[in-house]
């Protein structure tokens, strides 16, 4: 081959040096990457949670901060422990435990022992996530599992709902006595006034640390949607499921008797908003085909309402979504999008 | 005619990895003359040709140097005039080797005029198809399927012939330059293709980021009955055959081995149409093509070169490397193939050379899938790449089949968008090959 060397006149110096070189092993296409990683996604979720997080400080005071810190610390510790036990490298640290920790802190009532905030995320991450193979393989939402365990183990403390006392918890005294949340009012057959609903929307109603303000959570949701991190399908189906169930079965005078206040109360109250945009949209524990996503979201909404209306828990969201999570592997197995050019295929192929 | 928005796909406009590597003159191409050409006997999908020249023999431009009796094949012609220096195995793009005829260029470009070369075929479909085969024309968008076979519609009715001028691969502008410089000939080629397929309609699909090509094509088609130029959104892979047909006609090519002809459509690349016009109007064989040389070379540009020119010669002509190269790709950045040596020839389907100087290793380290669904949203075939990837790694072949892994067109969108930088496209292609192997075994 040597005799067929190329002419060497005027070629650039670098070319001469590299002309005969062998390049690294052949690589499969594509040779472009968008280059935005898992960490960036999780970082954006944290940014989206920021308004509600800061809001919780405004509503309840600096006393909420230890909950966030402890929850995040133990989430990270649990993740590191699992990585160590599974002999994985910890340096691919992707911020997802931080999200789990923050979500758990947000769903605790102020006044519970701090070690709850340690136990919840640790359990959620070790049991719901790492036992099943780590991120992406969790068919249960880790934050919700931690929350469910806490609620079952400590029903009394976990169902407290302190009233906010802005600014920074200085307004009125924050006592740990359970106040009536909008959902409890509805559960007890009461009705909500427009003022109650406005409180719910702004975050002035009693509730958990980070769940009270629908407005601040929606701000975060807009960020997630704008960044393309979540799509509207699941949250809308979820909210539609809740609204429909509330409208049909939520009234005090039989079917279809619910007023708009009741429907809105269910939409704004409890964990609905936090759940709709930050929990049922969890990647690992939701299905992937668009149709399956709509079914999943609606099912989450419907089961949540079953709990709220017919169980002793006015707050059924946690258990409802965990139960529906179990259907995700099945949904992924039987529903997939119709491939371009595919014919004669029934809905459930 | 309905125009459909593409399914999935990605916007690569302003792609950061290609920033600052654009061509100064994307609307033009210059001619390059190499000292040697290396003509592999296999430059198409199908059976390889047999060399029909001997070492030491002098050959003329357009003289066949390799041919075969096999049906799925296309002959290879001398792309320069000169002397055959060797006939031996030589590496090809994509790994592997092929018997290759090496010709030393005498720079006289004396044209081969024996055995009826240069004679024009009659207007009968059979003669024209034979002339296209004789000219060695294959799909020049990269698929390299023999064009004579593609245009042989048999019993099928063809209503629409589509010219693919989308050129959706980011950074390539060879088709763009060809459409601007050779507008008339391309339209003429389309007319021939329509006549061969007895199709009444012709469509030329061009992405909206090529306004000059669209304008020139539109003007050239003003008096052409039945031919229209359609503007397509610049979304990769708009130029994929199935995607193009869907965008322009709303028709879907059936899965499981369906062909465009099944929905009454034939698609050809603009370069192919240009070559068809050359073969039928001038009797010339496919000996030249245009490609884009870009990336970290001194003078990125479009070049017309004799087929068989070495990659290294083209890079040298463009002023050499800008910084030590880490990767050289033949084709575009999304579907091109890396080469491990510069001494491989550019074949009939090679539409570009892209050089990366910088290492981007961190972009290729896989991390766990977080099930974000971006791959599903990007897939232009509406597959679930993450699920196929998972099933493939667990060797669950039935699941791979149910997920339609075989419909993958290997456009690479899934890998491109993956935040965990998983090599989804690569794994899906492997799954696809395994499924094909299993099916062959079962038969």
**Nearest CB partner across the interface for A32, out of B252, B334, B410:** B334
Tokens for A345, please give them: 């295929």
Note whether A288 contacts B255, CB cutoff 8 Å.
Answer: no
| pLDDT at position B215 | 96
Tokens for A326, please give them: 């179990």
**Which stretches within chain A are classed as H helix?**
13-18, 38-60, 65-85, 96-106, 114-123, 142-153, 155-158, 182-187, 194-202, 214-226, 233-249, 260-268, 272-274, 290-310, 317-325, 328-334
- Measure the CA angle with vertex B24, ends B314 and B38; round to 5°: 15
Mean pLDDT of B14-42: 88
A338 to chain B: closest CA residue: B382
Can the peptide bond before residue B142 be classed as cis, meaning omega within 30 degrees of 0? no
**Nearest CB partner across the interface for B312, out of A19, A41, A342:** A19
Using the Cβ of B310 and the Cβ atoms of chain A, whether some distance falls under 8 Å is answered with yes
Query: A77-81, long-range: CB within 8 Å, 24+ apart, which pairs?
Result: A77/A122, A78/A121, A78/A122, A78/A125, A78/A126, A78/A130, A79/A125, A79/A130, A81/A126
| B379 vs A200, more confident | B379
What phi, psi does B85 have (nearest 5°)?
-95, -30
| pLDDT at position A6 | 36
- How many other CB atoms are found less than 10 A from the CB of residue A15? 23
pLDDT bracket for residue B118 (50, 70, 90): low
Cβ neighbours of B7 in A, within 8 Å? 340
Query: DSSP readout, A8-71?
Result: -TT--HHHHHHTTPPPSSP-PSP-------HHHHHHHHHHHHHHHHHHHHHHH-GGGHHHHHHH
A349 to chain B: closest CA residue: B402
State which H helix or E strand residue B390 sits in. Answer: helix B385-393
**Nearest CB partner across the interface for A23, out of B253, B328, B426:** B328
- How many other CB atoms are found less than 10 A from the CB of residue B341? 15
Helices A194-202 and A214-226, packing angle to 10 deg: 50
- CA A162, CA A171: separation in Å to the nearest integer? 13
Can the peptide bond before residue A30 be classed as cis, meaning omega within 30 degrees of 0? yes
| pLDDT at position B119 | 66
Is the Cβ–Cβ distance between B297 and B321 less than 8 Å? Answer: yes
pLDDT in tens, B129-168: 999 999 999 999 888 999 999 999 888 899 999 999 999 9
Interface of B with A in 213-252 (CB under 8 A): 242-243, 246, 252
| pLDDT at position B12 | 77
Q: How many CA atoms lie within 13 A of B357 on its CB side?
A: 14
Note whether A342 contacts B255, CB cutoff 8 Å.
Answer: yes
Interface of B with A in 350-379 (CB under 8 A): 354, 356, 360, 363-364, 367-373, 376
pLDDT in tens, B309-332: 999 999 999 998 888 888 899 999
| pLDDT at position A34 | 85
Q: Which residues pair with B202 in a beta bridge?
A: B161, B227
| pLDDT at position A108 | 93
**Nearest CB partner across the interface for B382, out of A13, A41, A338:** A338
| pLDDT at position A344 | 64
Mean pLDDT of B356-381: 87
Cβ neighbours of B325 in A, within 8 Å? 18, 23
- CA A71, CA A99: separation in Å to the nearest integer? 10
| pLDDT at position B129 | 95
- CA B260, CA B426: separation in Å to the nearest integer? 25
B412 to chain A: closest CA residue: A30
- CA A267, CA A236: separation in Å to the nearest integer? 11
- Three-class SS of residue B105? strand
Using the Cβ of B328 and the Cβ atoms of chain A, whether some distance falls under 8 Å is answered with yes
Q: Which residue of B88, B330, B368, B420 is the best one to mutate when testing the A interface, meaning the one whose CB has the most A CBs within 10 A?
A: B368
| pLDDT at position A176 | 44
From first to last of its 349 residues, chain A has per-residue pLDDT tens of 233 333 333 335 556 666 666 666 678 889 888 877 899 999 999 999 999 999 999 999 999 999 999 999 999 999 999 888 888 765 558 899 999 999 999 999 999 999 999 999 999 999 999 888 888 888 899 999 999 999 999 998 998 888 888 888 787 654 444 567 888 888 888 888 888 899 889 988 889 999 989 999 999 999 999 999 999 999 999 999 999 999 999 888 788 888 899 999 999 988 999 999 999 999 999 999 999 999 999 999 999 999 999 988 777 899 999 999 999 999 999 999 999 998 866 544 4
Cβ neighbours of B324 in A, within 8 Å? 14, 17-18
pLDDT bracket for residue B117 (50, 70, 90): low
Residue B93 has pLDDT above 60, yes or no: yes
| pLDDT at position A24 | 66
**Nearest CB partner across the interface for B421, out of A16, A33, A343:** A33
Using the Cβ of B410 and the Cβ atoms of chain A, whether some distance falls under 8 Å is answered with yes
Can the peptide bond before residue B237 be classed as cis, meaning omega within 30 degrees of 0? yes
State which H helix or E strand residue B291 sits in. Answer: strand B288-295
| A239 vs B117, more confident | A239
Note whether B367 contacts A36, CB cutoff 8 Å.
Answer: no
Cβ neighbours of B296 in A, within 8 Å? none
| pLDDT at position B269 | 96
| A28 vs B271, more confident | B271
Predicted TM-score of the model (pTM): 0.91
- Average pLDDT over chain B reads 92
| pLDDT at position B112 | 87
pLDDT in tens, A199-213: 889 988 889 999 989
| pLDDT at position A196 | 87
């Amino acid at each position: 081959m040597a005799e067929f060397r190329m002419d060497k006149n005027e070629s650039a110096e670098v070319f001469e040096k590299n002309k005969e070189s062998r390049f690294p092993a052949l690589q499969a296409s594509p040779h472009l990457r968008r280059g935005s990683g898992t960490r960036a996604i999780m970082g954006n979720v944290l940014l989206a949670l920021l308004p509600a997080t800061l809001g919780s400080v405004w509503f309840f005071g600096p006393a909420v901060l230890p909950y966030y810190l402890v929850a995040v610390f133990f989430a990270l510790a649990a993740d590191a422990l699992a990585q160590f036990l599974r002999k994985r490298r910890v340096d691919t640290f992707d911020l997802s435990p931080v999200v789990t920790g923050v979500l758990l802190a947000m769903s605790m009532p102020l006044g519970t022992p701090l070690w709850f905030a340690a136990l919840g995320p640790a359990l959620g991450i070790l049991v719901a996530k790492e036992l099943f193979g780590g991120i992406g393989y969790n068919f249960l939402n880790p934050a919700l599992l931690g929350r469910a365990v806490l609620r079952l183990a400590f029903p009394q403390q976990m169902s407290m709902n302190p009233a906010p006392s802005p600014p920074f918890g200085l307004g009125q005294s924050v006592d740990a006595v359970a106040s009536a949340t909008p959902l409890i009012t509805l559960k007890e057959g009461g009705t909500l006034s427009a003022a109650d609903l406005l409180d719910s929307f702004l975050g002035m109603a009693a509730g958990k640390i980070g769940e009270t303000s629908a407005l601040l959570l929606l701000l975060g949701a807009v960020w997630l949607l704008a960044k393309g991190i979540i799509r509207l399908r699941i949250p809308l189906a979820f909210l539609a499921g809740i609204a429909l169930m509330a409208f049909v079965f939520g009234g005090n005078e039989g079917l279809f008797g619910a007023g708009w206040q009741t429907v809105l109360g269910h939409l704004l109250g409890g964990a609905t908003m936090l759940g709709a945009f930050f929990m049922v949209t969890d990647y690992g524990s939701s299905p992937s085909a668009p149709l399956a996503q709509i079914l999943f979201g609606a099912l989450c909404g419907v089961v949540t309402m079953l709990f709220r209306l017919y169980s002793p828990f006015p707050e059924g969201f946690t258990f409802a979504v965990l139960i529906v999570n179990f259907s995700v592997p099945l949904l992924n197995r039987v529903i997939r999008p119709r491939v371009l050019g595919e014919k004669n295929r029934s809905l459930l192929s | 005619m309905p125009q459909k928005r593409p399914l999935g796909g990605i916007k690569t406009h302003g792609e950061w990895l290609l920033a600052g590597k654009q061509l100064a003159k994307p609307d033009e191409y210059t001619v390059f003359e190499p000292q040697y050409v290396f003509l592999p006997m296999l430059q198409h999908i199908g059976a390889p040709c047999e060399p029909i020249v001997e070492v030491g023999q002098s050959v003329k431009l357009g003289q066949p140097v390799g041919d075969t009796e096999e049906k799925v094949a296309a002959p290879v012609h001398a792309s320069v005039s000169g002397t055959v220096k060797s006939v031996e195995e030589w590496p090809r793009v994509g790994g592997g080797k092929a018997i290759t005829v090496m010709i030393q260029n005498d720079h006289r470009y004396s044209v081969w005029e024996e055995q009826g070369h240069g004679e024009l075929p009659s207007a009968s479909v059979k003669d024209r198809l034979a002339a296209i085969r004789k000219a060695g024309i294959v799909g020049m968008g990269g698929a390299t399927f023999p064009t004579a076979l593609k245009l042989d519609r048999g019993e099928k009715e063809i209503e629409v012939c589509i010219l693919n001028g989308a050129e959706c691969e980011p950074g390539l502008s060879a088709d763009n330059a060809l459409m601007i410089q050779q507008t008339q000939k391309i339209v003429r080629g389309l007319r021939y293709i329509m006549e061969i397929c007895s199709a009444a309609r012709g469509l030329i699909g061009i992405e909206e980021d090529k306004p000059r090509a669209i304008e020139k094509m539109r003007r050239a088609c003003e008096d052409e009955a039945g031919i229209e130029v359609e503007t397509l959104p610049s979304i990769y892979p708009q130029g994929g055959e199935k995607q193009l047909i869907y965008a322009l006609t709303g028709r879907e090519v059936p899965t499981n081995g369906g062909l465009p002809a099944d929905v009454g459509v034939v698609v050809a690349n603009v370069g192919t149409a240009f070559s068809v016009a050359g073969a039928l109007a001038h009797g010339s064989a496919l000996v030249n093509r245009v490609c884009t040389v870009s990336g970290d070379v001194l003078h990125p540009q479009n070049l017309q070169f004799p087929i068989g020119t070495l990659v290294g010669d083209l890079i040298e002509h463009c002023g050499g490397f800008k910084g030590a190269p880490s990767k050289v790709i033949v084709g575009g950045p999304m579907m091109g193939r890396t080469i491990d040596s510069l001494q491989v020839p550019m074949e009939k389907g090679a539409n570009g050379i892209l050089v990366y100087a910088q290492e981007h290793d961190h972009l290729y380290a896989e991390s766990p899938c977080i099930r974000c669904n971006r791959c599903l949203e990007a897939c232009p075939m509406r597959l679930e790449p993450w699920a196929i990837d998972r099933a493939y790694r667990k060797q669950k072949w039935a699941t791979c089949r149910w997920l339609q892994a075989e419909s993958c067109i290997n456009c690479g969108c899934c890998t491109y968008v993956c935040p965990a930088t998983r090599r989804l496209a690569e794994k899906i292609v492997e799954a696809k090959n395994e499924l094909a192997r299993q099916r062959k075994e079962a038969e």
